[in-house]
Amino acid sequence: MTNSVEKRSSTAGLLPGTLVHIGRKRAEKVKIVVSNYDEGHFEEKEVRRAEDVAAFKDKINVTWVNVDGLHDVRVVEELGSIFGLHNLTLEDILNTGHRPKRDDLGDYILVILKVLAYEEMGGGRAAEQISLVLGRGFVISFQERPNKMFDPIRAQIRSGQGLVRKSGADYLVYRLIDTVVDNYFTVVEKLGERIEELEDSLVTDPRAQTLQNMHNLKRETILLRQAVWPMREVVSELERAESPLINRSTAMYFRDIYDHVFEVIDIVETYRDMSSGMLDIYLSSVSNRLNAVMKVLTIVATIFIPLTFIVGIYGMNFKYMPELEWQWGYPAVLLAILMIVAGMLLTFKKKGWM
């Protein structure tokens, strides 16, 4: 879990203006795709250098710059200078340990989100950061690494389906955030399936491994909560549409996202409640098992220890032990033993131990 804390300490003492990428380093080249569209026009191009984006800047249509990879600080810096982003904005984009937020800087709005890459959760990192910059006529999206998440939106832009081509940059931002929130539902469903599996195994087979699984589940739920809770505020601020960058008509779509975020939170909180209940069941199962083991021990010991004492009596070597001489002594002892066993079994039955 602790590796989700990005190593920020290395930046302590640096000039606040020094841009440093905080997050996993990667070797591959940063990929920049620029789309420019309006209702009648569409153009898409992968550019090699950040400088090439400048050509798109002053077009009247909507420009969407998508950047896959943050490890090349110069790319972010260059884009920042083209689109007039504040140094602190660039820092926020590069610091991938940031919590989701929305900053209105007047000329543009910065939105920071978390995508939960469920497949990797078991391993190291769980949350990827997506930063969106919504300006007048342009949207820049930064992702930590190549990701097919936004492909359906790009496809719709290309084909002219839906409302994207007919709408402005704010609608594109809505679609991007909506995609991220839909991703939470996927994560939540998978989490739900695992909880269900775990619940079944609790009753049938409570083992130490179960505990570990519950702990892992808890970790992931915490991660999910950290990603989703701040989204409420982020989306509700966007919905209020106090910035001229967001149309009143788009605000309603953000309201829709807001409801979705609340749904996810509801489910996650339910999972939290269920998880704590599961621990109780687990601990009780363990207790019950201990009880079962102890009962077996007690039954066996309680029956045989007294019997061993009885046969021990007649194993004594005293000279004068009249019973030993009796012809029916041995069968009598055996009979007595049988009766004691029967009596004890009856008692245990009555106590409900057997």
- Which of the residues 65 through 94 are near a copy of itself (CB under 8 A)? 86, 88, 91-92
Number of residues that bind a copy of itself (CB under 8 A): 113
Supply the minimum distance, in Å, between the C-beta of residue 224 and a copy of itself. Answer: 12
Per CB under 8 A, which of residues 14..33 are in contact with a copy of itself?
14-17
- Tell me the C-alpha distance between 210 and 206, whole Å: 6
User: What is the arrangement of strands in the sheet containing 101-104, beginning at the earlier edge strand?
Assistant: 42-47, 31-37, 62-68, 138-143, 127-135, 108-116, 101-104
Instruction: Note whether 134 and 150 are within 8 A (CB).
Output: no
Supply the minimum distance, in Å, between the C-beta of residue 304 and a copy of itself. Answer: 4
- Does 335 sit near a copy of itself (CB under 8 A)? no
Residue 307 tokens read as 């019997």
**Which of 20, 297, 335, 346 forms a contact with a copy of itself (CB under 8 A)?**
297
Supply the minimum distance, in Å, between the C-beta of residue 69 and a copy of itself. Answer: 22
Nearest to 17 by CA among 71, 113, 89, 100: 89
**Which of 77, 255, 340, 345 forms a contact with a copy of itself (CB under 8 A)?**
255
DSSP states of 107-143: SEEEEEEEEE-GGGTTSS--EEEEEEEEETTEEEEEE
- Does 147 sit near a copy of itself (CB under 8 A)? no
Spell out, one character per residue from 212 to 251, where the chain touches a copy of itself: x when CB under 8 A holds, - when not: x--x--xx--x---x-------------------------
- Does 267 sit near a copy of itself (CB under 8 A)? yes
The interface region with a copy of itself, picked from 57-65, 70-78, 126-134, 321-329 by CB under 8 A, is 321-329
- Tell me the C-alpha distance between 187 and 265, whole Å: 12
Using DSSP's 3-state secondary structure scheme, residue 2 falls into helix
The interface region with a copy of itself, picked from 48-56, 62-70, 124-132, 257-265 by CB under 8 A, is 257-265
Name the residue nearer to a copy of itself (CB basis): 59 or 118: 118
DSSP states of 191-236: HHHHHHHHHHHHHH---HHHHHHHHHHHHHHHHHHHHHHHHHHHHH
Per CB under 8 A, which of residues 186..215 are in contact with a copy of itself?
186, 188-189, 192-193, 195-196, 203, 208, 211-212, 215
- Does 170 sit near a copy of itself (CB under 8 A)? no
DSSP conformational letter for 96: T
Name the residue nearer to a copy of itself (CB basis): 12 or 27: 12
**Which of 178, 232, 247, 340 forms a contact with a copy of itself (CB under 8 A)?**
178
**Which of 277, 336, 339, 354 forms a contact with a copy of itself (CB under 8 A)?**
277
Cα→Cα distances 320→314, 323, 325, 332, Å: 12, 9, 9, 19
